Structure 1
Amino acid sequence: TYKNLCEFIPILGCNSSSPIKAVDLNPLIQQLLTTHSGSTIFGVGGHSVLLSITEDIAAKVSLKPSGKHVRHEQSIFKLLDQVPCPYIIHSFLCAPNITYMPLFKNGTLYERMSMDDKPRPVLQWMLQLSEAVACLESLGYAHGELNPRNILLDNQDQLRLVDFDHALKIGDDLDVGYEPYVRASKAAQQISGGTYGKAGPITEQFALGLIFWYMSRGTELYAELDGPDKVDRLIEGELPVVNLENPIDGIIFDSSPVTSTDRMIQQPRKRNVRFRR
């Protein structure tokens, strides 16, 4: 309910550089919940709230009036209309502060990987996600925040890439990300770019490779490590070896660029190969 949202907002923004207070919430949120009978709050992010308007229609509303992230995502939706891709979510209608789009209730890829009783068509998902990323790249953009939480599944187990709030033009500084799907450069190696380099094929392919790893293993890379240890290993380029005799590992090898200084963790009875540039 809207009351629950007002209580949750201070918690959501407690670590934010620009926290949101309940009094700052976009009045459109309450208006939509009141106007559309049966509508509910489906999800809340850092910049927007997703409302379930009907069983298959959602409204993404900026948490604050005139929020720049929703406006930016709408500009990406407009570009995506030029190259429709079945594995990218598209908008039905964009208006000030609100975007109407399809609603998928099957959850994210991250949630799906915890369900051992459901099939995992990994090769199908790899192909679909690659096509979605290539579609964005054809427009001159990188998603900028590729990770399993930004990938939805529809009722037919088809992937839908979502959340373009942080999409960047190729070559722009990349400062947003979620390890292990991004990695910072060593201070001595970072000549230019954002925290995670410059958005483009290298950063997107790195994320793809680690998502493919997650799809095929069922656990995220270095999930057993604490945050700082995970970050350190990524910065140092300590990435696991892959078995080229396995077709999926071969794709991971081809899609995951690394620098020439990266080292591999040794594993017995497997070819010592490394994700390549």
Structure 2
Amino acid sequence: MQTADNLLARRTAGHVFQTSPHIVLKCPTQFDNPFPEQAEETEESAKKIVSEKAVFRVLMEQSYPHILQCILCVPEGIFLRRMDSILQERLSQSQRVAIPPAMQEQWVQQLTGAVAWLERQEFVHADLRPANILLDADENIQLGSFDATVKQSQKLLVASKPFC
């Protein structure tokens, strides 16, 4: 059962719950008795999860070391490998814990490799920002959050400042 105790994040595409020490479930936002604006959020969240599942089904056929690993897509959501942190958090800590230049270079190489590989699969991530870049225990990049991802020939549906 998904409760506030195992809620890790609330995102625009839904909620992320810890199901085990190594696995999370990303599922759409749902309200029992929604207000009108919550009904819109529920509908939008469900659409984003459906879109993300479609991308992950393709990505599950071929893997790349710096793309977040999907374990299973089910009607309720997406089971994913649990990461240790997100790049956004690590960058905010950089005043206290400096990021060595070698690590910065490694991140650039890993991220550009992941984006290039994704583009070879004919996808555009469409929401590339520090909040969507995860880090494993060794601080290796794992690109995630594919709810805004589109095929190269499709119209971009999402744009947010300052990333658009």
Q: Distance in 2 between matches of 1:157 and 1:73?
A: 24
Q: Distance in 1 between matches of 2:88 and 2:118?
A: 22
Counterpart in the other structure of 2:33: none
Q: Distance in 1 between matches of 2:98 and 2:6?
A: 27
Q: CA deviation at 1:134?
A: 1.2
Counterpart in the other structure of 2:69: 90
Q: Distance in 1 between matches of 2:50 and 2:156?
A: 19
TM-score (norm 2): 0.81
Counterpart in the other structure of 1:33: 2
Counterpart in the other structure of 2:128: 146
Equivalent residue pairs, number:
147
Q: Distance in 2 between matches of 1:93 and 1:153?
A: 20
Secondary structure of 1:58's partner?
strand
Task: Indicate if the aligned counterparts of 1:150 and 1:162 stay in contact, CA closer than 8 A.
Answer: yes
Q: CA deviation at 1:111?
A: 1.3
Given the alignment, which residue of 10, 29, 50 partners 1:63? Answer: 29
Point out where structure 2 has 5 or more consecutive residues left out of the alignment: 31-41
Task: Indicate if the aligned counterparts of 1:43 and 1:50 stay in contact, CA closer than 8 A.
Answer: yes
Point out where structure 1 has 5 or more consecutive residues left out of the alignment: 1-31, 183-277
Q: Distance in 2 between matches of 1:73 and 1:157?
A: 24
Counterpart in the other structure of 2:91: 113
Q: Which amino acid aligns with 1:181?
A: F
C-alpha spacing 1:130/1:62, structure 2 compared with 1 (3 Å): same
Task: Indicate if the aligned counterparts of 2:148 and 2:157 stay in contact, CA closer than 8 A.
Answer: no
Deviations 1:89-121 (A, max 9, x none): 02111100211111113x221111121314341
Q: Distance in 2 between matches of 1:39 and 1:53?
A: 11
Counterpart in the other structure of 1:253: none
Structure with more of its chain in strand, by fraction: 2
RMSD of aligned alpha carbons: 2.0
Deviations 1:44-99 (A, max 9, x none): 11231000111111011111388221121111111112331110102111100211
Secondary structure of 2:26's partner?
strand
State, as a whole percentage, how many aligned pairs show the same letter: 27
Secondary structure of 1:111's partner?
helix
Task: Indicate if the aligned counterparts of 2:72 and 2:79 stay in contact, CA closer than 8 A.
Answer: yes
Task: Indicate if the aligned counterparts of 2:67 and 2:144 stay in contact, CA closer than 8 A.
Answer: yes
Q: CA deviation at 1:152?
A: 0.7
Q: Distance in 2 between matches of 1:91 and 1:175?
A: 23
Task: Indicate if the aligned counterparts of 1:39 and 1:54 stay in contact, CA closer than 8 A.
Answer: no
Q: Distance in 2 between matches of 1:154 and 1:112?
A: 12
Q: CA deviation at 1:39?
A: 5.8
Larger radius of gyration: 1
Q: CA deviation at 1:143?
A: 0.3
Task: Indicate if the aligned counterparts of 1:70 and 1:97 stay in contact, CA closer than 8 A.
Answer: no
Task: Indicate if the aligned counterparts of 1:39 and 1:53 stay in contact, CA closer than 8 A.
Answer: no
C-alpha spacing 1:175/1:72, structure 2 compared with 1 (3 Å): closer
